[in-house]
Chain A
Amino acid sequence: MPTLWEVLDRAETGDYMPETNFNLKLSRETKRLVKEYGIKFDRDQPIPVDASLPNDVFQAALDLLRVMGVYCENTNRTIKFTDEEISEVTKKAKRSVTFGEYNETHAISSRGVEDQNPPSLMGGGAGTMISEGEIYVKNMASYAKEPLNEMIMANTPATIEGRPIRARSPLEVHATKCEVGWIREAARMVGRPNMAIVGTASGLSAQAQIGAANSDGGLKKTDGHLISMATDLKTNYETLSKVCHTIEYGGNIVSLYTSMYGGYAGGAEGLAVVCTAAPVAETILHRATTHLIKAMHLNYVNTSCREALWATSVVAQAHSKNTGMLLSNDAFTSAGPCTDMVLNEIATNTIASTVSGMAFLEGVGTATTANVDHATGLEVRCMGQVGKATAKNSIKLDDANDIVKKILTKYENRFQNRPLGKTFQDCYDLRSIEPKPEWIDLYTRFCKELVDLGIPIS
């Protein structure tokens, strides 16, 4: 694998190309490879059962990476990888990574397709905006309180000191430090001070994220350091600066890659190919040990539609069979808390991820994360329990496909009129940090329906 310095050299010496040309080339090459490998999306199989499909997608993804490389937005050059480098990464990827400390040490490990070992759980609102201060702490405590949750994924404070958080400003640096401190306080509040935090969510600039990584109240080495790759197969100096710092600090890099159905990747087939290529690139370029993959619909902005579920399942199966890389779906829903729809969207995401071999579950970005305070710990309870029930009860791909299709009929015609649901303050008791009866009743009814469908959630 090239050193980070060699990567930076390539960013300065690779082929020059205007960004638009790179985007259109990515589309052309993806389309060509989809055709060459005969990859086809089947609406009747949101969880595909064809055993050869994941391998075809995997080979197409490696071909795509060979021909495209990764684009550096600062230098307008492509960083290319050799066959040997790609091969080495796919064969020697880490198959187990540990987060957290002492009694809260948890290992994320590779899983097979239809694996009976439940996936690990990295639960939070995936960056949903939450009111700052006390509400933020209690909101994060609602995730820390869930017994199945092993690591806390950060939410974003909506403001800081009553002011908007401005990117690259001193307030962003302050917000990022507050975010980590508040989550640690939340974990302590529920008696789990050693839980790993995965962030940051409020500070995406290098200065803010680097400033928040320190052993004196900040993100520890044992926490997850979230570094996103730009859509589609792009990086930049800001991202690489975070990588440089995190490597020297000694933290585990959790990568996040988003690609869009309808975007440059094209349809569901192209989405699967590009999203399968991304973790390989992120391992080489960004030294990521764990990967969040968000195969998202351009119009619906969720991962719960049929096309996104299919792509997510294919990516998981492709890596589970070929690399053992530690992947999760970054689950995004259209609906918000305290609705039946959000639970059903979580169920399809979780069943698809679990049965297809994702190493861990991450989310839930409810109501597309853009609605302040629309995220609660119960969504993560749902994700954890559905994942555990799916794995422990040996649900097979074809059974999972039938179940997911039935659940899809409950919500897939509601994306345009999605229910945003209720805020955390409205559906949780803020003293006990427990869901209010209305939210619990909805969840209980959902569990019964899921049992009837063949997922024996307890």
Chain B
Amino acid sequence: MANEVIERMKSAIADGQADLAKEYASKALAEGLDPILIVEELTRTVREIGEKFSRLELFLSDLMGAGLAMREAIEVIKPSLVGKESKELKTAKVVLGTVTGDIHDIGKTVVGAMLIAAGYDVTDLGIDVLTTAFVEKAKEINASLIAASALMSTSMPYQKDLMRILSELKLRERFKVMIGGGATSQAWATEIMADGYAPDAVQAVKVANTLVGAK
């Protein structure tokens, strides 16, 4: 019975059905299953979807739907996790967005979905995000990582602004910063002294793991 509930919960996640995923997460707890085990099943399912997405065997809406459903299901389980530690569920919070002057959405959204699939708690600020908004949100939620995307060359200066402002506010040591986007490069990340550069969403998860994954 417990196995069947877990399988149904995983199917609901894969289909992006948040309400069903929540329902089966509750049932799994009611069956007496270890909440750590439930979280591990959830994250494993979404990670598999993320891997399929990286090969484009599945598409962005599949990944987004699964990520959102997982987030809802985890909210149900969270109270039962107090005092327990899951190696799958990272506590690291990420603030994500496309910097000022840039309205490109897809690349940043893919990175967000892949980070969620990897177990991160992601706050997506959207597109055309003010530099100060990244900083304020990161302070507010006590984020570990700021991920800032720029697809256009005219938006890259705002990534540099972000690094400067963090330094001037003496917050540089508090947050790790990862940059990406079509206009950027490792050389640019080095120049502005960002902590990491990711050329694509798969690499973004690896870089995030290196920078804050252990937290």
Give chain A's interface residues, CB within 8 Å of chain B. 19-20, 23-24, 27-28, 31, 73, 129, 156, 158, 164-168, 172, 202-205, 230-231, 236, 238, 260-264, 266-267, 270, 298-299, 301, 368, 370
Contact = CB atoms under 8 A, between A and B. Distances in A.
Given A24-B64, A261-B56, A299-B200, A166 B154 contact: yes
A148 B107 CA distance: 36
Which applies to chain A's interface (DSSP): helix, strand, loop or mixed?
loop
Nearest to B107: A298
Interface in B131-181: 152-158, 160
A289 B200 CA distance: 35
Nearest to B58: A262
Given A260-B106, A263-B59, A370 B154 contact: no
Contact of A166 (B53, B60, B158): B158
A262 B152 contact: no
The 6 closest A-B pairs by CB, nearest first: A167-B101, A27-B61, A167-B154, A166-B157, A262-B56, A266-B59
B101 A204 contact: yes
Nearest to B105: A231
A158 B126 CA distance: 26
B61 A158 contact: no
A260 B53 CA distance: 13
Given A24-B64, A301-B182, A262 B59 contact: yes
A264 B61 contact: yes
B103 A230 contact: yes
A156 B60 contact: no
Interface residues of B, number: 31
Contact of A167 (B56, B61, B64, B100): B100
Contacts of B182: 301, 368, 370
Given A205-B101, A261-B56, A299-B56, A172 B61 contact: no
Nearest to B61: A27
Contact of B152 (A19, A23, A204): A204
A23 B61 contact: yes
Nearest to A371: B185
A27 B154 contact: no
Contacts of A73: 103, 127
A67 B72 CA distance: 28
Nearest to B202: A299
B98 to A, nearest CB: 11
A262 B106 CA distance: 10
Contact of A172 (B127, B154, B158): B154
Contacts of B56: 261-262, 298-299
Given A158-B153, A167-B155, 7 more contacts: A156-B153, A164-B160, A166-B101, A166-B158, A172-B154, A260-B106, A264-B59
A337 B157 CA distance: 28
B28 interface: no
Given A129-B153, A158-B153, A368-B182, A27 B101 contact: no
Nearest to A270: B59
Given A166-B101, A167-B101, A370-B183, A24 B153 contact: no
A269 B53 CA distance: 17
Contacts of B126: 19
B59 A267 contact: yes
Contacts of A24: 16, 61, 64-65
Given A230-B105, A236-B103, A298-B106, A164 B156 contact: yes
B65, B110, B126, B152 pick with most chain A CB within 10 angstroms: B152
B72 to A, nearest CB: 13
Contacts of A204: 101, 152, 154
Nearest to B100: A167
Contact of B154 (A165, A264, A299): A165
Given A166-B157, A166-B158, A204-B154, A27 B100 contact: no
A258 B150 CA distance: 17
Given A19-B126, A167-B102, A262 B154 contact: no
Contacts of B200: 299
Contacts of A299: 56, 200
Nearest to A19: B126
A158, A168, A236, A270 pick with most chain B CB within 10 angstroms: A168
A183 B59 CA distance: 40
10 contacts: A20-B68, A24-B65, A158-B153, A164-B157, A166-B157, A167-B154, A231-B105, A231-B106, A264-B106, A270-B59
B60 A264 contact: yes
Contacts of A238: 103
A263 B106 contact: yes
